[in-house]
Amino acid sequence: MIRFRSFRNTDPPLLARLWQSQPATRGLYSRVTAPLLEHLVFSKIYFEAAGLIVAEQGGEIRGFAHAGFGCTEDGQRMDYSRGTTAMLMVAPGEDAQSVALELLHYSERYLLERGARELYGGQLWPLNPFYLGLYGGSQLAGVLESDTRQSSWFAAAGYEPAAHRVVLQRLLANFRPPMNRDLLLLRRRLRVEQVDDPATSDWWTACQYAQHEQLGLRLVGSDSSIAARLSLWNMEPLASGWGVHAAGITDWKLAESEPGSPLELFLLAETLRLLQSQGVMLAEVQRSPDDTQTLGVLNELGFQTVDRGVLLRKPMP
């Protein structure tokens, strides 16, 4: 008989064993250990044992659902009005879906009891509390298209697509920066500065990347004005599962120019050139499919779609 209960301090080795039993997918780091889960998940200051529900049978964990919350729009505090099942994982078996649906039921009940008025599945900013570096890629992109088991369980529970992401990657071995008149003018006018361990813009971002190595890039004019900023991080341990040194480009801002402009192309091209010089083999970025201008720039730089993600939402009665 399967028993459903909250997380205990003795669970990490059993959870790691369950994680290692999962079918291989592109966006799931398979070599998870108990110390790694402790470092990247359980150490979060907002982790609550009651939000991690496990299905236990005969002393083994058959599955778990991890419920959590995101942040307010300014990133300065928790927002309990929207909750998400951040991860749903079940051991392979004929009854996997029935176990998953029962876990989802307990996860939803926990979220509602904590004040949620909207229920989601998967993680996408600002609903992205856990598992960066273990799932998704350069960012948490909802439930990945390649993660067919988790997708099917949410669909069976009545969840519907709410937001989409495109996951793009670029191998850097053969990268050559594009060159045209506009880019030459920008190269003469702007200098590229690397910022090691840059300060985060808000509390929530600091919580997400505290355990990861970050890097910043900025384009500076002759008058010391900042024309553009970009943030990236060392995608470990997920990239180790791919056998490459990879960097995730997470965010960039242009002071004046619009997406799709020569300045955006120059910023991203200089970023790839810098990463290539540091021995990085692969760069990843995620964007909304509606961001056609930036997607065009990424296509010009040789990025290719490798996966898609979707944040799911359950209609409330």
What is the Cα–Cα distance from 117 to 132, expressed in whole angstroms? Answer: 25
DSSP state for residue 201 in the 8-state scheme = S
Question: Residue 258 above 90 pLDDT?
Answer: no
* pLDDT above 90 (res 51): yes
Where do the DSSP E strands lie in the chain?
Answer: 3-6, 52-57, 60-71, 78-90, 118-121, 143-144, 160-171, 190-196, 214-221, 226-234, 246-254, 282-287, 304-314
Q: Which has more confidence, 131 or 198?
A: 131
Cβ neighbours of residue 207 under 8 Å, at least 6 residues apart?
44, 45, 46
Residue 256 has pLDDT above 90, yes or no: no
Residue pLDDT, tens place only, 123-177 = 999 999 999 999 999 999 999 999 999 999 999 999 999 999 999 999 999 999 9
- Average pLDDT on 41-70 reads 96
Question: What is the average per-residue pLDDT within 243-265?
Answer: 92
Q: Quote the pLDDT of residue 316.
A: 85
pLDDT at 309 over 90: yes
CA separation for the pair 150, 68 (Å, rounded): 17
pTM for the model: 0.94
Predicted local confidence at residue 317, as pLDDT:
76
- Crossing angle of helices 96-113 and 148-156, in 10° steps, is 60
Give me the domains of the chain, ranges plus CATH numbers.
Answer: 3-166 (3.40.630.30), 169-307 (3.40.630.30)
Mean pLDDT, the chain, as a whole number?
95
Q: Where do runs of H (alpha helix) occur along the chain? A: 12-20, 34-37, 96-113, 148-156, 181-189, 203-209, 238-242, 262-277, 292-300
